[in-house]
Amino acid sequence: MSLTTIRRAAEAEWVRRIAFVVFDGFQILDLTGPFEVFQQANWPTGAYDVRVIAATAGPVRSATGLTILATDGVADIDPTTIDTVVVAGGIGVEQAITDTALLTWIRAAAASARRIASVCSGAFLLAAAGLLDGCRVTTHWSRARQLSEAYPQVRVDPEPIFIKDGRVWTSAGVTAGMDLALALVEHDIGRDIAHGVARQLVLFLRRPGDQSQFSVAMRTPPPSSDPISATVSAIHARPGDRHSLADLARHAGLSPRHLQRRFTAELGASPAAYVERVHVEAAQRALTESDDPLDTVARRCGFGTAETMRRTFHRTLGVAPSDYRDRFRSTIDYAQEH
């Protein structure tokens, strides 16, 4: 299909108005990343009218200090003309959710829009507007627990890069907004255009893995009692050990059954699950910081064999250990090899 034919087909249907909602303290890449995806798709197709909207038109300061110009304020644009609402996230979202005019406009736009979407903590704005009730959504893994606790009627899944639940699309942090935008472009005007945009921007059309591969910090609350704190300290002191339940119970001074119950209640994960995550994180560090063979990494990090480590990586991170090493090893090493 020629570019002229694609453009005419898009114009024959209609031009979709994409409204990016920003606020003081928004995350700059939450806007510029997906914005660029839509504009790249626009050049051959003319399918989109992309607007940047804030409480009032004019300069909006991002969390990094970079300032962009909002083309419209909420009083300047008819919310019923919006096809897709995309809400950015950022540290300013805590203040933005108190902006009655902004929330009112988002609700009005969502009432007639074909779909609504958020990038990163932009999900907090959609939730504050009452638009995520009953939906399965995602956000940046570091904000997932906060979102779930603040809006218990929202089903938060911290793992996926993005989620589509009906007409609600939500994405994880920062660059995941580009993954989301690519999926929206593919949904609108086809895989060929989306693939072309991905190639132009040097992106995955389908990024492998989920958010677990980007988080090294443990995503569990701190222990609230001394026995469980001692157990956690013992695990982290020797991350490559097997740490059987009996061994951990001796550290805690509890029976294995009592430890299992208290550990799970305080940390939200069983001792075995916690130990496995520590093994995975130790292997993540070893894979990116050394050239040791996979068998060596597996033995040193508590897996025993490379095959066991491979299966665990696939189950918990969605990638193979070798792929993880290639993707996240030192950029200096990568540059020297290429």
Whole-angstrom distance, CA of residue 250 vs CA of residue 218: 23
> In degrees rounded to 5, what are phi and psi of residue 163?
-135, 140
How many other β-carbons are positioned within 10 Å of the β-carbon of residue 20? 28
Cβ pair 66, 86 in contact under 8 A: no
Whether the CB-CB separation of 324 and 306 falls below 8 Å is answered with no
| Rounded-to-5 percentages of helix, strand, coil across the chain | 55, 15, 35
Q: Whose structure tokens read 């033995």?
A: 299
* Whether 124 contacts 92, CB under 8 Å: no
- Choosing from 52, 60, 74, 120, the catalytic residue is 120
Residues 6+ away with beta carbon under 8 Å from 71 = 51, 52, 53, 57
State how far the Cα of 178 lies from the Cα of 173, in Å rounded to an integer. Answer: 10
H or E segment at 6?
Answer: helix 3-13
The CA distance from 89 to 166, in Å, is 21
Query: Where does 55-191 show beta strands of DSSP type E?
Result: 58-61, 67-70, 72-73, 84-87, 115-119, 136-137, 155-156, 162-165, 168-171
Active site residue 301: no
The catalytic site residues sit at 120
